[in-house]
Structure 1
Amino acid sequence: MRIGLAVPQYGRFAALSSVLRVAREAEPMGLHSLWASDRLLTPLAPKDPYPGGDGHMPEAYRVYLDPFAVLSVAASVTSTVRLGTSVLNACWYPPVVLARSLTTIDRLSGGRLDAGLGLGWSSDEYAAVGVPWRDRGKRYDATLDALEAIWGADPVSFEHELWTITPSNIQPKPARRPPLYLGGFTEAALRRVGRRGDGWLAAPVPLPVLTSMWQVVRRAAEEAGRDPGGLRMIVRANPMITEHGTPPGSGSVADYCAYLADAAEAGAQEFILDFQQTATDDQHLLDLAAAFTSDLSTRLK
């Protein structure tokens, strides 16, 4: 079992000092990975409800650092932890720009990139970047196609109604083709993971739901002639630590770790722990990471 940590990026943790301290201390703690996510704005009257809790976006999301910049800083003070995106909203970026940004992090970190991509949920954010909300699934698939071409051998060429890459050398290349982990919870999204992803970026939902969704991914992989055993399930959890609560929403460290251990039995192979909505400062965040790592290590021996 691998345990990762969301690198400081938003809310009270949107500060260089937090990124540097937490990234530096992650490796000695035995954490496997650091992850950054993607958020642009907080609409005052959102068109779409936030997909969690009561539908309201967490207050901490009002301040959000750029994921590429945060991971570049983390890369500069670490040497072994993987550096991942969970998730980038792939459709916001032209593929050649997205590939360059991801490849830069991979090269600066010595080949430690894990690329996690998703569709996003906010039509307001799509409007802000000038990308149509309609047919976003088709745009997403085309983005994945373009990334595969760009990360392949030169010369690269790509023809699509959205973008044209004339035969070109596109350098540098990643140290190796980064793993592509895909998010999403609809039938179409889960089947896409099975068809073409290296794994699924999941969320802490009730275990029967998690198991059912994972089965959709695995069946889609089999139907595409792929080995479902080669796919990874990575669960990003945002635990709210309280004395009394019911995971996966909230609970004590012990209660939440018990839920995660059950998720591991259901197929999860890695956890991304995001404490930025419950920790009060850097030390508290690191203490929670240590407590979860210790508890999970004992449960998952």
Structure 2
Amino acid sequence: MKFCLYIPVGNVTPGQFQSPAAVSEMTKALEQADIDACCVTDHPAPSSEWLHANGHDALDPFTALAFVAAASSRLLLQTNILVLPYRNPFLTAKAATTLQVLSGGRFILGVGSGYQKAEFDALGVDFHKRGRLTDEALETIREIWAGGSIVKKGMGFDAKGNEPRPSPEPQPKIWIGGSSDAALRRAVKHGDGWCPFFSIARHSKLNQDSGIQSVADLKNKVETILQARQQQNLQTAFDVNIAISSVDNFIHRSQGEIDQFQEDLRQLEGAGVNWITLKLPHPSRAAYIENVQWFAENFVAKI
């Protein structure tokens, strides 16, 4: 089992998380703790109502992860998740391959189609076309990364022999978020992995409905993906990364929480999961770093 921890660079607490020194210190703590990857999320223009009710801030994911890359040498870098319809696919492909090249091949592009209509409106993107825009972006990004001239007319672009570079080898992995039937199809067709989340009571109804409801639900969906890959003779490695909560885990750092998480790991591994994404408490930078060290001592060192 591998672990991905959110790095709380989106937290706006003054003097704690949003500075070069803070990012460097947290990154080094993650790497020294042998954490496999860190991730950031994507909200360029969130709804104020959502933000102040139960939402969260976010820095630009590519810029934030570039700072993390510069402060590390081994830590993998993941977007969890980047909302593909928000951006022209040529810009997404360029940002992703730039980060892949300059990080030495450590980038994982976790993507989804989004859910917050107010954010789509602010960015001038049709919310009701997000599924088609996501499919088009995935197809186009793969074509761009293959290298060569692109001749393609899309829903919001018209490439007439454009040749974006770099075309790195290996290409960044793409993990597909979401748990709808469409998301599962995308994971099979375009993905190197699947990265859904468990729904919890704190989520909005839309998030709850789009999340995984149980381990049994998760196992069924993993089996659906793997069977479809087998039918299409897709034999490359495929990752399953489940975000087990979007509320801070291990609030009390109690033995009960340790025992419960160990049982959760056993169940999730049995369902086909090989990556776990977690968010640790971070009332301050020092507390976050201490929690990273505690997590590593209790779990990473024992896997």
* Equivalent position to 2:54, from 52, 55, 58: 58
- Helix, strand or coil at the partner of 1:283: helix
Which aligned pairs between 1:69-218 and structure 2 lie closer than 5 A? 69-204=63-198, 205=212, 206-218=214-226
**Cα 1:83–1:160, aligned 2, differ >3 Å: closer, same or farther?**
same
Contact 1:14 1:64 in 2 (8 A): no
How large is the Cα RMSD of the aligned pairs? 2.5
TM-score, structure 1 normalization: 0.84
2:44 pairs with one of 40, 51, 55: 40
Q: Is the 8 A contact 2:175 2:195 kept in 1?
A: yes
CA distance in 2, matches of 1:297, 1:265: 18
Answer whether contact 2:17 2:285 (CA < 8 A) is retained: no
Q: State the alpha-carbon separation in 2 of the partners of residues 257 and 69 from structure 1.
A: 34
Question: Percent same amino acid among aligned pairs?
Answer: 22
> Partner of 2:3 in structure 1?
3
Alignment of 1:265-284 (within 5 A): 265-275=270-280, 278-284=281-287
Structure 1, unaligned stretches of length 5 or more? 51-55, 246-250
Counterparts in 2 of 1:284 and 1:265: CA distance versus 1, 3 Å: farther
Q: Tell me how far apart the structure 1 counterparts of residues 299 and 183 of structure 2 sit (CA, whole Å).
A: 29
* Closer, same or farther: CA 257–127 of 1 in aligned 2, 3 Å: farther
2 CA distance for matches of 1:65 and 1:153? 30
Q: Unaligned regions of 5+ residues in structure 2, if any?
A: 199-211
Deviation at 1:178, TM superposition (A): 1.1
Which residue of structure 1 lines up, in the alignment, with residue 257 of structure 2?
252
Q: 1:231 and 1:172 mapped to 2: Cα distance? A: 24
Does 2:291 match 1:288? yes
Q: Residue by residue, what CA displacement relative to the aligned partner does 1:128-150 show, whole Å, maximum 9, x if unpaired?
A: 11110112111111101110111
Q: CA deviation at 1:42?
A: 4.0
Contact 1:3–1:270 (8 Å) recurs in 2: yes
The offset of 1:118, in angstroms, is: 0.6
The superposition leaves residues 232-284 of structure 1 with CA deviations (integer Å, 9 ceiling, x where unpaired) of 10122334334599xxxxx7244234313321222111122222xx3222232
1:261 and 1:94, CA in 2 relative to 1: closer, same or farther beyond 3 A? same
Superposition TM-score, scaled by structure 2 size: 0.84
Residue identity opposite 1:103 in structure 2:
T
Relative to structure 1, is the Cα distance of residues 3 and 240 closer, same or farther in structure 2, using a 3 angstrom cutoff?
closer
Count of aligned residue pairs for this structure pair: 282
From 231, 238, 246, the equivalent of 1:231 is 238
- For 2:59 and 2:251, the matched residues in 1 are separated by 27
